[in-house]
Each structure stands twice: as structure tokens, then as C-alpha cells.
Structure 1
Amino acid sequence: MDIRVGNLKKPIDVSEYLFRRLHQVGVRSVHGLPGDYNLVALDYVPKAGLKWVGNCNELNAAYAADGYARVNGIAAIVTTFGVGELSAINGLAGAFSEMVPVVHIVGTPSTASQRDGMLLHHTLGNGDFNVFANMSAPISCVVAKLADPAEIPGQIDHALQQCWRQSRPVYITLPTDMATQKVEGQLLDTPIDLSDPENKDKEGEDYVVDVVLKYLHAATSPVVLVDACAVRHRVLEEVHSLLKKTKLPTFVTPMGKSAVNEDHEFFGGVYSGDASAPSVRKMVEESDLVLSIGSLQSDFNTAGFSFRLSQLKTIELHSDHCKVRYSEYPGVRMKGVLRKLIDKVDVGRLKVNKVPPPSSSSSQASKDASAKDDIIRQDFFWPRIGQFLQKDDIVVTETGTANFGIWDTRFPAGVTALNQTLWGSIGWAVGACQGAALGTKDAGTHRRTVLFEGDGSLQLTAQEISTMIRHELDVIIFLIVNDGYTIERHIHGMDAEYNDVVAWKYQDLVDVFTPASSSSSSSKTPTKSPRKYQVRTVTELEKLLTQDGDFAAGGGLRFVELYMPREDAPASLKLTAEASAKRNAE
């Protein structure tokens, strides 16, 4: 292809092509930080109809892009070469681990500088300009180095397509001299094909469907178990259609929580092995057929690998293969199988049992104690907060007590739950909350984003509260103040100094991060005034949740400093931490 401008039908600069493609696939806001190797490219963000977010650091930006993608479908982050991209790499590794589609764009030195091995800032001083891309390669499903204008549009289109289809991050380098190079803009008239590929082996697909139906129709106590990959690989529409037709008893894992509307009559609760409510555990583990959709059996998702599901009684549907008992069918994707199951299942032949009444694994004695002595305990708080949540809320929980406590919270219809159970990077939830809230704002929908955060975790990424305020996001933060890293205490070192944190004046962060009206910066004073609260007793919590209409409305930032006992933790966390400690000692 001759890329001389005179031979291009619609010449367009590379940066504009890239950002307009991002807009076409659904991105509306771009996270990241400026750096001298990406500054020229950033000039094109508004030209493409995108909004620049501007985070406080690259790690937070990566967390935020993760949260944005989970709500919006896909996200983008821009960093600068070396110092910027390495700050973001932990957050992007988490997105890869948890299958979240994030486009990572890195502004790099010019192709000439790289070719000549120049001794530039942000390098290791050894002339190797590929070292950072090589670091990101294992956590990216595509690495696209934009160096040849004739190939750049195809590279961009392929990267974005694979980011969406594989639900994994991609890594794109944009050298300074390529940012303004001309490429063929006419390609933008043809949208990128983001459709999920169909199963090529139709005979194999039909065979799997027939085998599944055979066992399903013969089962006397079948159940459905929905996990994280059903969310990440976009089969929830098929899942809900199947459940609506069959009304089979349905359970979710911790990572799959909110994948199924919890107000449905067939929803039975959260299954996580030994940490499950007894009635849930009994029904799932005694079932003669478990239809597992999108299973991801990590240690924290299974309460220390305590799943007790016989392979002889399990059918697993995955994004790129299916497994029926001990037979595996590579290349047969669950989306196609689910669609045919919906069409072919004979509901008249199904044995549909009723799910157990809603319950939790919490201690009733602890709930009674909280009511008696007015102390807010974990076992009391999480079931209670379910009554505060509203339809279509976005609920973000941090690694630690929140990730485990939320198992006992019954969600209203339409709630979207975000957690990072597999990667488990402490501090992720603050950035993810900012990204999720911005994603719903970009979609033009009014949904509260409710964050449950620990005091230790907040201290890693607290700066993004300022980003929430600056962009006037509707966020409610429940900050659980319990004097440090509770999850670590229960794994090892209950009284160890390394699990302590400095007791900040947390409420004052709201004032610190709110732009001053006399500020000379470009940050305008928010029209939605942030508000802060301190809650130390059950009585004060009830008053806040039931009598403060402004708080419940969730307009702007609402920050709650909420106190719980230092060693208190959900039962599921204690059990999982004990299992983790045993494995660490082996």
C-alpha cells in the first residue's frame, strides 16, 4: 500500500484514527496521565469526541480503566513510556487475570530515536526500547507496535477486535513521530467486527448440546452454577433466557455474584464450598447434575478450594471449550451451546426443585449482639446493607472483608457487582469505583455506584476520590475503619505491626480533595457538593440509611466513615484465610 498523502482517499492522522476507533467501539472517556511522549497524541482525544479523565497516578488509572470496562464493555488508558506504563502494569495484569478488555496506549520515543538507540530519559540507558513492551506482552492478548503507516490501521483494528473478543488487555505503542502520520481514514467507514465468533464445528456443537440435554432431562435434581466467565464473555443474555425458560435452581459463585437477578424465584444464593450457607451447600453438592457456566475455580472463589462437585455430575461450559463429565470438547464455545439449549430443552421433562429460602452463613448470635450493644459487626452489616441497595446499583467491593461480606447481601434486580477476587490487588476498588461511576455517567443512566472499602486499602489509592469529585460522579463510599489489613491479620499476624495502618482523619479527605473555589487551576468547583458522615453505632447507621433522603439519593460524593471492631471479619473470610495460611505453610 502506497501511503503517500496524495494516494489516500481520506487522509487522517494516526492519533485521530486510533481515538475515533475507540469511540466507535464504545469508549467515551480515556483514563491515564500525560507524559512528554504522549502529549501530541492527547491533543486528538477531544477531536474524536472523547473525554480526558486525568488520574492521579498510572496505577489508579489502570484500576479505573478496569472498572470502566466492566460497566461499559471496554476501556482505554494512555501512559507514557517506561515510568508511566510500569506504574500501570499491576492494574493491567489484574485486568488480564480477570479477563477485562482494556486498551493500553503507550506514547514512546520516535522510531528514529529507537533505531539509533539514543540515551533518552525514561529508558534503562542500554538502548533497549523493547524491554517494557516485552514486560507487558504476557499480560496482553495483542502487542501492536505502530511503526509503519501502511500497516497501522490494520494493527489498530485487529488489536481492538481481539481486546473485545478475548476480553483481555491489548498493548499499543504510539511513537511520537507516528502520532501525526497520515493513514487511510476511509477505513473508519467500516466498523470493526466485534461479533463473537460462532462455533466452526457445528457437528461438535450439536453433539455437545445433545449430550447435555440427555443428562439434563434425566437428572432428578439439576442445578445451574453461574461464574465469572459467563459475565466476562458476555453470555448473560443467554443464561437469563435459559433460566427464564427452565426455572432451574440457580446459584452463583462469589466472582459471579450479580450475574443472575437475585429477586428471581429460582435464585438460591452464593455457592463457595465450605463457606456457603448450609442449605445452599446441601442443594448444590447433593445435586445429581450441576450445569456450570463460566467456571473459574480460584482459591478465594472457592473458599480455599473447598468446592465438592463430582466431575461425574458436572457439565462445564466455557468460553472456548465444553466439558461433559470427563469428556472435553475443545473449540466448542458456550455461547453457541447455550443458544441451542434454549431452543431444544424440553421443560416438560425437567425435574425442577425449589430453592432453599434466603439465608446466610452469618451468625445470628453476632447479629443479636450488634442489636444489643449497638456495635456494628460484619455479620450484622452485610445482610442489613441489602435493604439499603436499590435496583440497578453498581456495587464495588474491595479485597478483604468487603469481598467476603457481600456474599451475605441480597441484591435487588439489576445490580452489577464488581470485585477482584482472583487478582486481589488491595486498593483496586477505589480506582475501579471511579471508572465504574464514570462509565455509567457516560452511558447517560442514573445508577448509584456504592463502594465498600477498607481503611488499609484506601490508603493505597485514596487520591482518586479527587477524580470522583472533579467529574461529579454519583458515588457512595462506605469506608470500613477497623485499624488495618484485616484479611492479612486472619491469614497471619493478628497483632503484628506490619498489618497496622496510620489512623487518618478520613472524613477530612473529602475537604482536601474538593477543589477550592479560589483555585487558579482548571478544576471547577463541583456543582454537586460532597458530603461526609461518621457512623460508630448501629443506631447511627440505621438513622443514616433510613432517615437521610439526601444520602440515599446518591447525588455526588457521599463519604461514610464507618467503624467496626478490629478483629471482626465475615465467617467466609476467616475460613478462606485459614485455608490460605495452611497452603502457605506447606
Structure 2
Amino acid sequence: MASTDIATRELKNPVDLAEYLFRRLHEVGIRAVHGVPGDYNLVALDYLPKCDLSWVGNCNELNAGYAADAYARVKGISALITTFGVGELSALNAIAGAYSEFVPIVHIVGQPTTQSQKDGMLLHHTLGNGDFNVFNKMSEGISCAVARLNSPHDAATLIDNAIRECWIRSRPVYVTLPTDMIHAKVDGDRLKTPIDLSLPKNDPEKEDYVVDVVLKYLHAAKNPIILVDACAIRHRALEEVRDLVEKSGLPTFVTPMGKGAVNESHKNFGGVYAGTGSNPGVSEAVEASDLILSIGAIKSDFNTAGFTYRIGQLNTIDFHSTYVRVRYSEYPDINMKGVLRKVVQQMKALSPAPVPPINNRLPEEEKSSTDQTITHKWLWPIVGQWLKENDIVLTETGTANFGIWDTRFPANVTAISQVLWGSIGYSMGACQGAALAAKELNNRRTILFIGDGSIQLTVQELSTILKNKLNPIVFVICNDGYTIERYIHGWDAGYNDIQPWDFANIPKVFGAKDNYQGYRIKTRDELNQLFTDESFNVSDKLRLVELYMPRDDAPAGLKLTAAAAAKRNE
């Protein structure tokens, strides 16, 4: 202890370790921390107000993780605090999803004292075997950096490095905070120098060579197009993508995971490409191209409608955060941002092909139909007509996730879904995090589409939404169970059935009063009237809509993907 005291006295500006950590979180744009209190993190939570951070207080750690995920997708980075063992393990599904989908979350775990861990004490929340490392080992594989704050001497350095890695690599990091380290003193003068969040520069000679190669093929191509996917969003290349789209004039498409990456009201926008599950005319346009500039691709099964892409690598240039691949030649250790910027600066005028027309008009058979049944083919173009600029739209893995492909967004819409990880119930927790971020960013509208089965896993976050005075619009698609699973297997099996809930009244159970409005919508006319109701469109309270749809109806993309999944499962 004496050496620690001497080190502390040598500090000109000592600050408590917890304060240092939370002030660094504030520095990178975090204003609220998700999580659940537990005895190993309680004292640390006392520091949040001192650092101008608010405490969200979720109903459970899994929901908190989902919420932190969506908060990061809107704000750029987020923080989650759980307690040792029982708390952190409950959050791991959400953290794994964030790792899978490149979402930066700082996961802070309150731990027993360093001495207790050294002594292997038989404490609560342990396995009873004296092993205090087992849980952090579980998190190592789903974190891009681990910071174990067991000593004040290197704690500040570890914190700064973890936050930098979280930002640069856009993935979760794991930070342990033992209770005896909370008050430990670290060098507060370090806070005067912001963490360097800039990307490492590409080797100039290598970057210039890759740019020359890209331009050679681009200028030689007769029918090039741009295809934008999720990692363009996650690795913050959207400014470069926007300038490439603008200057090149090339037809531009997005994948399901890339929804929202480009301005869909732009004249170059051609729709969503998902192999055979694409919007009408899109697959023909993309697959006829002799050069595809593929930016940030994640070619997963749900993102490609069951691996139905018909794109040859010989006609593709892939841009990624750590490499560029030109046809079959790969250039490692080079970031797409620098390459794209120089491509935009140096490209000559191109002669782009015409962009296939895309709009939110109803199909002719739906326009002339007198049927009042709300179907997916009818719903999603109508949703596109209703959405506004700057909306945040969340869709649950299931019918909504595939249906949103048929919605052309207004400008600056943020789309949030979990296409790759696909954890059921994700979007309800995510809705809380997104709505909180929207409130911090001047109250953008937050809109969720979730199934009646999915919401049953995470419905408690409606309570957190009410507690934090958030105002999302939640559409619960009432179609009698797990539709996506029915299409994969077990159409009439009992395991795909659910107990019907009175969704519109659930927020009242959670204490909602005049800060909530519920609706039951069963016909097209009722939904059209709701969408034109000015009071409904104002973000002044939580609104939940029971939206009734047929049990056996689903978007075409879901049917294709489910059939491919069923075949693989055999």
C-alpha cells in the first residue's frame, strides 16, 4: 500500500479511477449509460452524475445490451455497466451480437476487490471454485480489447486504449472495475489530451497503387454500379460513399444490412439487392454489371436471401476496413476510407447506365384491390409514404426485417436491424436505446416494427421507455406466432404458437398514464387514417399499435430465405 501512496503523491492532478473512466466516455459522445445495478458496481454508479452521464436503468442486462447496441448505432459508441458473473453473463448474447455486427460498446463489469480475487474467496456470484477469471475468458472472444483495471499504475492507459480500439475497430471492449479500484488515484492531467480516435494512415505508396488499380478497372468498365453494405456504416465511410455516389453518377444499390447507408431519395438510388429476393428490376441491373464497387459487404445468408447472389468475383472490387480486394487480388492492411477518398478525387467522368425506377407506389393489383386485409405487399410501400426525413426505423428479425426491403426511405433515415446475429427480441430493447439517442439528438422520431412473438422476450423495455420519458412509435405485428420459423419448419407445430397478449394495454401495467396511447388496427382504411392523423405523428408520448396481419402472409424475401435455411437444415 505504501508504494501506491507514494505514486499517488507524485500525481499533480489525481482523480479517482471511476471518474477518469466516465469522463473519457463523455469525451467520445456518450451521454447515458445502460445497465442494471449490482453490488459490485453500485459505488461506481455514484460517479455518473459527476461526469454528466445519466443512468438508464434497464429491466435486465440482456435488454440493456440490446439498448446499448442501438444507442451506439445512432450515436457512434455506447456504454453498458453490469455486475460480476450473473450480470455480465446475462448481457453476453447482446454483446456477441454487437461483435458480430461491428457495433462499438464499452462493457464495464464491476468486480470483487483485487485481494478477494487473489485469495480465491468463496463469494456470491462466483462458481464457488475460486476462479475469478472464468467470466472474462468468456468475453475475450467477443471483445476486440480487454482492459483489466487491477492496478492504478496502468489503468488510465488501459482505459484509453480500450476506448480507442472500440471506436477504431467498431466492436465491443470488455473493462473490469474491481470495487477497490473505483477510488484509486490516476493521472487526471491525461484528460487534457483527448483520446486519438483517428484511423491509422494507410501506407501512401500502397494506397496510391491500389487507387490506380481501382481506377484502371473503373474507367474501363462499360456498366459499373455501386453496392453498399453494413460495414460502410459501421466503419464510418458514409461520407466517402456519398461523395462517390454524387461524383460518379453510378447506379447505387444497398443490401438489406446496408439500408440507410445512402440517401434513398437520391436520383442514383436503385433499390435493395438481395439476390433473388431483390426489389423488382434490381437483380437484373446488378447482375448485368461488368464492375461492382462493393463497399463493406457482409455476405451472410439473411443478407443475401439465402446465398442467392449472382455476382462473380471477377467483376467485383471489395472495399473493407482492413483490406481491398480487386477481382482476385487482395491488398491487406489498407483501409477503404483513404482509398475511396482518392478514387473520388482522381476519377474521370463516367457514362453511367440508367438507374431502374424505384418508388413507394403500390403494386397495381394492390392499388385496385377492395380487400381490407393488411398484407406485407400492401403495407411496406405505404410505410414508405408515411416515413419522414431523419426517422430512425427498427425492424425485428422476421417479417418486418424482410418487409422493409420494399420501403424506399426519405433522406437521412437510420435503419436498425440485426440481420446477421438475428437474436429474437433484439429490436424491442434496441428501440429503447435508439429512442434515447434520438432524444439526445433533438428528438428524431423512433419507429419500431416487431412481431407478436419477438416482443414477448423483451417487452419489459416498454417500462424503461416510460421511465426515461421516451416517445417511440411501436407497431406490434399480430400474426399469431413465429412466422419466420413456420416458413422454415413446423407450419402447424405447437412450438411456433404463442399465447396472445393484450399488447395495447401492457404499457398501462408498467404505469403508463397520459404519456401513452394504444391503438388496434385491423383494416387498411384504419391504418391509412392513423397515418394521416396529425396527433399520431407527433413524438410526444409512447404509442403502441397492434397491427393485425394474416398468419400465413410474409414478404417474398423471407419466403426465399426461409426455404434456403430449411434446405440447409436438412
State TM-score, norm by structure 2: 0.98
Q: Does 1:493 align with 2:486?
A: no
List gaps (5 residues or longer) in structure 1: 517-527
* Structure 1 residue corresponding to 2:194, chosen from 191, 194, 197: 191
Cα distance in 2 for partners of 1:204, 1:312 equals: 22
Q: One-letter code of the match for 2:294?
A: S
CA distance in 1, matches of 2:404, 2:510: 28
Report the residue type matching 1:57 in the other structure.
N
Residues 250 and 352, structure 2, Cα contact 8 Å, conserved in 1: yes
Write the distance in 2 (CA, Å) between the matches of 1:23 and 1:436. Answer: 18
Give distance in 2, aligned partners of 1:580 and 1:272: 15
The whole-number CA distance in structure 2 between the counterparts of 1:226 and 1:150 is 44
**Deviation per CA, 1:393-436, whole angstroms, max 9, x where unpaired?**
00000010010000001100110101100000010001111101
Q: From 475, 478, 485, give the equivalent of 2:475.
A: 478
Equivalent pair of 2:361/2:381 in contact (CA under 8 Å): no
Describe the superposition over 1:360-405 as per-residue Cα deviations: whole angstroms up to 9, x where unpaired: 899754x258x42201011110111101100100000001001000
Partner of residue 105, structure 1? 108
Residue number among 450, 454, 474 corresponding to 2:451 in the alignment: 454
Where in structure 2 are the equivalents of 1:503-518 lying within 5 Å? 503-514=500-511
Cα displacement (A) at 1:186 = 0.9
> Among 11, 15, 38, which residue is 2:14 paired with?
11
User: In structure 1, how many angstroms separate the alpha carbons of the residues matched to 2:359 and 2:409?
Assistant: 13
- Once the two structures are overlaid, the 10-residue window that deviates more, 466-475 or 102-111, is 466-475
C-alpha contact (below 8 Å) 2:360/2:385 kept by paired residues? no
Give the Å deviation of 1:446: 2.5
CA-CA distance at 1:241 after TM superposition: 0.9
Q: What SS class does the counterpart of residue 376 from structure 1 fall into?
A: coil
Aligned-pair CA distance for 1:196: 1.5
Comparing 505-514 with 94-103, which one deviates more in the overlay? 505-514
Q: Distance in 2 between matches of 1:74 and 1:456?
A: 29
Task: Tell me which residue corresponds to 1:542.
Answer: 528
Quick check: 2:443–2:539 contact (8 Å CA) kept in 1? Answer: no
Residue by residue over 1:518-561, the C-alpha shift from the partner in whole angstroms, topping out at 9 and shown as x without a partner, is xxxxxxxxxx7211111011111111111x11101122211101
Instruction: Assess if the C-alpha contact under 8 Å between 2:445 and 2:472 holds in 1.
Output: yes
Counterparts of 1:94-173 in structure 2, within 5 Å, are 94-173=97-176
Larger CA deviation: 1-10 vs 275-284? 1-10
Matches within 5 A, 1:111-510: 111-199=114-202, 201-347=203-349, 350-358=350-358, 365=365, 367=366, 371-443=369-441, 445-510=442-507
SS at match of 1:390: coil
2:82 is aligned with what amino acid? T
- Distance in 1, matches of 2:364 and 2:567, equals 28
Q: 1:561 aligns with which of 525, 546, 549?
A: 546
Q: CA shift at 1:359, angstroms?
A: 5.8
What is the match of residue 520 of structure 1?
none
Deviation at 1:333, TM superposition (A): 1.1
- 2:563 maps to a residue whose letter is E
Amino acid of the residue matched to residue 131 of structure 1?
Answer: V
State the AA in 2 paired with 1:564: M
Question: Given the alignment, which residue of 531, 545, 560 partners 2:517?
Answer: 531
SS in 1 for 2:74: helix
Q: 1:449–1:475: 8 Å Cα contact kept in structure 2? A: yes
SS in 1 for 2:40: coil
Report if the CA contact (8 A) 1:486-1:567 is conserved: yes
Q: Secondary structure at the match of 1:414?
A: coil
Whether the 8 Å contact between 1:29 and 1:442 is mirrored in structure 2 is no
SS at match of 2:498: coil
In the alignment, the residues of structure 1 paired with residue 56 and residue 539 of structure 2 have an alpha-carbon distance, to the nearest angstrom, of 21
Aligned with residue 87 of structure 2, among 72, 81, 84: 84
2-structure distance, mates of 1:578, 1:432 = 28
Are the counterparts in 1 of residues 362 and 382 from structure 2 also a CA contact under 8 Å? no
How many pairs does the alignment contain?
567
Give 2:561's match in structure 1, choosing from 552, 561, 576.
576
Cα distance change on mapping 1:88 and 1:393 into 2, 3 Å: same
Which amino acid counterpart does residue 447 of structure 1 have in structure 2?
Answer: R
- Of 416-425 and 356-365, more deviation after overlay is shown by 356-365
User: CA deviation digits over 1:183-240, x for unaligned, max 9?
Assistant: 11111111000111211x2211111111111111111111000000000000000110
> Displacement, 1:277?
2.5
Letter in 2 for 1:411: F
Give the corresponding residue for 1:20: 23
Secondary structure in 2 aligned to 1:171? strand
SS class of match (2:261) = coil
Runs of 4+ in structure 1 off by over 6 angstroms are: 360-363
Q: Which runs of 5+ in 2 are unaligned?
A: none
Q: Is the 8 A contact 1:219 1:351 kept in 2?
A: no
C-alpha RMSD of the superposition: 1.4
